[in-house]
Amino acid sequence: MGTWTTRGLRGSTLEEMINRTNEWYRDRRLALIQKIPTPITPVRMDKEHRQITLAYFQERSTVDYIGAVQGIPVCFDAKECVSDTFPLQNIHPHQVEFMQDFQNQKGVSFLLIYYSTRNVAYYMRLEEVVYFWDRSKAGGRKSFRFDELDPEFFLQPERGYYLPYLNPLSKDLERLDAET
């Protein structure tokens, strides 16, 4: 099982932007999305600062967020990247499997990837995740490059802390409807 130390704060910028966005969407009755907490067992505490400094994950998490947008079930995982190359090892097999199972049940699954050095986020459709995943399993690249991504699905943070992911979600739904 994995452990958590200060690495656990990776992605906190993205998570904060998503949480604020989700509050904004909830307040306007556009969506109800919840953060799924990952259960941990604390091992070491910094008593002076009252913080967990070492913990073990109790179980594997599936995705970071789950909920509904205008009656449509959605789930997604948040990933942060500091370079233009995203290593696929940051996406776990059980996550891909869960997202595929979720989508097979008529939900929509995706990743939100925040490229922190560029201050830009990307809505990665499950179809795209699977494409890169299968390519790596077939002996291809174990990562994907920023320039391989579909320009139609990039999003800029608004007001510095909102990620308007409902717009690319609408585009994703249109593509999914066209496929059925």
Closest CA to 155 of 144, 145, 169: 169
Query: Which pLDDT score, from 0 to 100, does residue 54 have?
Result: 67
Burial pattern 141-180, b for ≥16 Cβ within 10 A else e, equals: eebbebeebeeebbbebeeeebbbbbebbeebeeebeeee
Contacts of 129 (CB under 8 A, 6+ apart): 91, 96, 99, 110, 111
Residue corresponding to tokens 């904004």: 24
Confirm or deny that 77 is annotated as ligand binding: yes
Query: Which pLDDT score, from 0 to 100, does residue 43 have?
Result: 63
Confirm or deny that 64 is annotated as ligand binding: yes
Query: Which pLDDT score, from 0 to 100, does residue 175 have?
Result: 84
Give SS3 for 91.
coil
Confirm or deny that 95 is annotated as ligand binding: yes
Query: Which pLDDT score, from 0 to 100, does residue 8 have?
Result: 41
Cβ neighbours, 10 Å, residue 99: 24
pLDDT in tens, the chain (180 residues): 344 343 443 447 889 999 999 999 999 999 999 998 766 666 677 777 777 676 555 556 689 999 999 999 999 999 999 999 999 999 999 999 999 999 999 999 999 999 999 989 999 999 999 999 999 999 999 999 999 999 999 998 788 678 999 999 999 998 887 776
Confirm or deny that 62 is annotated as ligand binding: yes
Query: Which pLDDT score, from 0 to 100, does residue 21 have?
Result: 95
Domains of the chain: 3-179 (3.40.1350.10)
Query: Which pLDDT score, from 0 to 100, does residue 83 have?
Result: 94
Chain-centroid distance of CA 150 in Å reads 17
* Largest interatomic CA distance in the chain: 57
Reported pTM: 0.82
Query: Which pLDDT score, from 0 to 100, does residue 37 have?
Result: 77
